[in-house]
């Protein structure tokens, strides 16, 4: 990065299974208006717009950034649209950071969203590849075998997933914007039906309508206030091929490399010690221990033990997903940006009821595809 970049505004919608009170532009504006207000800026102050979302088949509109250009205040401005599957919200935020880092733009609006209630999400997420037998419905069917492989590799016991899910829901209860906020117990989860063994219904993410918007800006702009910014110390997005023999789908190389690069750039030597909270993309509860390992917070095989000891709960050593994460809210296109935005809120000290104490460094993470795309940033309260 040629020059420092900061998050100066964060906005998100009230996430829900169906926002039938708003059209698509209305949904996006709810988040954008909030982010701009948060940043103390107006549409006219924005130099460029970077929009991201997941497959257009989810809403039945191709390249919707085109019809949204007016609503986004992008008329006669530069705009790009990112799409990197589930990680898109995060890679979109990172592309916006690059715009500012380049020196060519001082204030960039970035927004990621999904209004998937308006299409058929299950259909859109089932891999209907031509000349290939259809085998599983939904993303869970694809990932379940790898969750099972994690359990086999590490001896992870069957109550870990339910512990993650119950904890995520407790966190969601402290996040006014989350979709799912009702508490549930480990027992509730264990009683819920198995969808794709070993994944149970209450260990899966919901399908949500929602949007997240950020304003990222130059140092000069960030120092003008009105709020304490979150400095983007490092951010990278990586992708790996699918059909590589021996590819580790439990702890993908792209995730490990991406995290290592972020830590190196940000000067983090020991993530477990130096990072106070992490918002990671956990759509199925079993990914929490898997990502703790993939992100280098612990050695291989130790991730589930962190969960068992409760060290990733609020108030413990490394609160994971204080916002409730994807398990509480999943507008697919927005989820990645929500992770990065929530990490920013944590270092800005503005996470309200789900604020973690004493956050200096927060990690935001998202993944997508057949666990191929990873986008991660580290934000700090100091430059």
Please give the residues from 112 up to 171 whose contact with other proteins meets the rule CB under 8 A.
122-138, 141, 144-149, 152-153
User: Helix 138-154 and helix 287-294: axis angle, to 10°?
Assistant: 60
Sign for the pseudo-dihedral over CA of 58, 62, 68, 69? positive
Residue showing tokens 């999904």: 114
Sign for the pseudo-dihedral over CA of 24, 25, 26, 31? positive
With contacts defined by CB under 8 A, name the span among 35-43, 180-188, 213-221, 369-377 that binds other proteins. 369-377
Whole-number Å distance between alpha carbons of 185 and 122:
27
Closer to other proteins at the Cβ: 115 or 313?
115
**Least Cβ distance, residue 109 to other proteins (angstroms):** 13
Considering CB under 8 A, how many residues would be counted as binding other proteins? Answer: 98
Q: Which of 154, 330, 361, 372 binds other proteins (CB under 8 A)?
A: 372
Sign for the pseudo-dihedral over CA of 34, 37, 39, 41? positive
Q: Which of 58, 111, 216, 275 binds other proteins (CB under 8 A)?
A: 58
Check binding of 365 to other proteins (CB under 8 A). Answer: no
Q: Which of residues 28-57 bind other proteins (CB under 8 A)?
A: 54-57
List 109's β-bridge partners, or say none.
49, 215
Q: Which of residues 83-102 bind other proteins (CB under 8 A)?
A: 83-85, 91, 95, 98-99, 101-102
**Least Cβ distance, residue 40 to other proteins (angstroms):** 25
Whole-number Å distance between alpha carbons of 237 and 133:
31
Closer to other proteins at the Cβ: 161 or 198?
198
Q: Which of residues 66-85 bind other proteins (CB under 8 A)?
A: 66-67, 69-70, 74-85
Q: Which of 229, 325, 341, 370 binds other proteins (CB under 8 A)?
A: 370
Closer to other proteins at the Cβ: 66 or 191?
66
Long-range contact set of residues 300-304: C-beta below 8 Å, sequence gap at least 24:
300/153, 300/154, 300/251, 301/153, 301/154, 301/155, 303/154, 303/156, 304/154, 304/156, 304/157, 304/160
Strand, coil or helix: 298: coil
**Least Cβ distance, residue 82 to other proteins (angstroms):** 6
**Least Cβ distance, residue 236 to other proteins (angstroms):** 6
Q: Which of 155, 182, 243, 382 binds other proteins (CB under 8 A)?
A: 243
Closer to other proteins at the Cβ: 333 or 341?
333
List 110's β-bridge partners, or say none.
50, 214
Closer to other proteins at the Cβ: 17 or 23?
23
User: Helix 287-294 and helix 160-172: axis angle, to 10°?
Assistant: 90
**Least Cβ distance, residue 81 to other proteins (angstroms):** 5
Q: Which of 8, 10, 16, 24 binds other proteins (CB under 8 A)?
A: 24
Q: Which of 43, 47, 61, 311 binds other proteins (CB under 8 A)?
A: 61
**Least Cβ distance, residue 359 to other proteins (angstroms):** 26
**Least Cβ distance, residue 273 to other proteins (angstroms):** 26
Pick the closest to residue 145 from 239, 286, 253, 282 (CA basis). Answer: 286
Check binding of 300 to other proteins (CB under 8 A). Answer: no
Q: Which of residues 214-233 bind other proteins (CB under 8 A)?
A: none
Q: Which of 8, 178, 195, 318 binds other proteins (CB under 8 A)?
A: 195
**Does residue 174 come out as left (phi exceeding 0), alpha (psi in the -120 to 50 range) or beta?**
alpha
Buried b (16+ CB within 10 A) or exposed e, 9-29: bbbbbbbbeebeebebeebbb
**Least Cβ distance, residue 319 to other proteins (angstroms):** 28
Check binding of 290 to other proteins (CB under 8 A). Answer: no
As a whole number of Å, the end-to-end CA separation of the chain is 13
**Least Cβ distance, residue 247 to other proteins (angstroms):** 7
Whole-number Å distance between alpha carbons of 263 and 269:
7
């Amino acid at each position: 990065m040629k020059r420092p970049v900061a998050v100066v505004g964060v906005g998100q919608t009230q996430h829900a299974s169906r926002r039938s009170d708003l059209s698509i532009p209305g949904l996006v504006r709810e988040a954008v208006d909030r982010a701009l207000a948060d940043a103390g800026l107006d549409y006219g102050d924005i130099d460029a717009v970077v929009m991201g979302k997941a497959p257009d088949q989810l809403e039945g509109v191709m390249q919707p950034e085109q019809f949204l250009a007016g609503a986004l205040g992008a008329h006669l401005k530069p705009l790009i649209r990112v799409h990197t599957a589930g990680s898109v919200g995060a890679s979109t935020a990172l592309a916006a950071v690059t715009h500012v880092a380049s020196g060519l733009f001082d204030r960039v609006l970035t927004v990621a969203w999904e209004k998937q209630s308006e299409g058929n999400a299950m259909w859109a997420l089932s891999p209907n590849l031509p000349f290939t037998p259809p085998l599983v419905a939904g993303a869970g069917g694809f990932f379940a075998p790898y969750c099972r492989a994690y359990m086999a590799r590490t001896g992870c016991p069957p109550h870990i997933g339910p512990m993650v899910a119950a904890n995520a829901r407790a966190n969601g209860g402290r996040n006014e914007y989350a979709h799912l906020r009702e508490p549930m117990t480990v027992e509730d989860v264990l009683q819920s039906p198995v969808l794709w063994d070993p994944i149970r219904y209450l260990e899966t993410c919901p399908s949500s309508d929602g949007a997240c918007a950020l304003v990222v800006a130059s140092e000069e702009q960030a120092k003008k206030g009105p709020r304490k910014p979150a400095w983007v110390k490092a951010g990278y997005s990586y992708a790996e091929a699918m059909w590589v023999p021996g590819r580790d789908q439990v702890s993908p190389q792209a995730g490990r490399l991406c995290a290592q690069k972020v830590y190196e750039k940000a000067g983090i030597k020991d993530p477990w010690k130096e990072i106070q909270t992490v918002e990671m993309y956990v759509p199925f509860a079993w990914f929490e221990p898997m990502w703790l390992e993939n992100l280098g917070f612990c050695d291989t095989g130790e991730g589930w033990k962190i969960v068992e000891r409760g060290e990733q709960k609020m108030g413990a050593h490394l609160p994971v997903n204080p916002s409730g994460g994807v398990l509480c809210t999943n507008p697919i296109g927005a989820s990645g940006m929500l992770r990065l935005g929530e990490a920013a809120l944590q270092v800005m000290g503005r996470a309200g009821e789900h604020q973690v104490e004493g956050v200096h460094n927060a990690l935001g993470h998202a993944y997508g595809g057949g666990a191929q795309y990873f986008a991660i940033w580290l934000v700090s309260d100091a430059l």
